[in-house]
Amino acid sequence: MPSTPPTSTLRDLETAARAAAQTAYAPYSQFRVGAAVLTSSGKIFRGCNVENASYGLCNCAERTAIFTAAAEGEREIDAVVVYTPTATPTSPCGACRQVINEFGPDAFVVSICDGSERIEKRLSALLPDAFGPKNLA
């Protein structure tokens, strides 16, 4: 299991997730989300939600960040931070939990918002008994 990131790294992830929300493309929901992932190489990748007029093609911030990391060659995710501009934190949707599982079955997942409340859970708690690469090995 990846260790819990140090406070300074978590702070960097939170700053990146908040900044990412600024470029969210959310003309339909107006729900602007930012995410940041920490990979095992120590790099931070960020992403925002990108919506589409064909609503089913909307991509969440978490998946944008993870796909960006994967496209850069990263294969292990140690932590994910998701920011929503809301009073209470938002936990990743089911599809994003499945995508996080691919690269970080025990990733440390943090949800932050504009209030003081936060959620901190391991992906394995958010998606127990997950189907993943191990099932195809």
Contact footprint for ligand THU (CB under 6 A): 26, 29, 31, 33, 49, 51, 58, 60-62, 82, 90, 92-93, 96
Least Å distance, CB 46 to ligand THU, is 12
Least Å distance, CB 137 to ligand THU, is 29
> Which residues, 6+ apart, have CB-to-CB distance to 11 below 8 Å?
none
Please identify, using beta-carbon distances, which residue of 42 and 49 lies nearer to ligand THU: 49
Please identify, using beta-carbon distances, which residue of 1 and 95 lies nearer to ligand THU: 95
Please give the single-letter amino acid code of residue 5: P
Least Å distance, CB 136 to ligand THU, is 26
Q: How far is CA 131 from CA 41, 74, 100, 104, in A?
A: 25, 21, 12, 12
Please identify, using beta-carbon distances, which residue of 7 and 114 lies nearer to ligand THU: 114
CA atoms of 121 and 94, how far apart (whole Å): 14
Q: How far is CA 108 from CA 20, 54, 69, 73, 92, in A?
A: 19, 32, 16, 20, 12
CA atoms of 61 and 37, how far apart (whole Å): 10
Which residue from 1, 3, 2, 20 is spatially nearest to 81, judged by alpha carbons? 20
Annotation marks residue 62 as catalytic: yes
Please identify, using beta-carbon distances, which residue of 41 and 88 lies nearer to ligand THU: 88
- Catalytic residue selected from 14, 62, 72, 102: 62
Least Å distance, CB 126 to ligand THU, is 11
Catalytic residue positions, numbered: 62
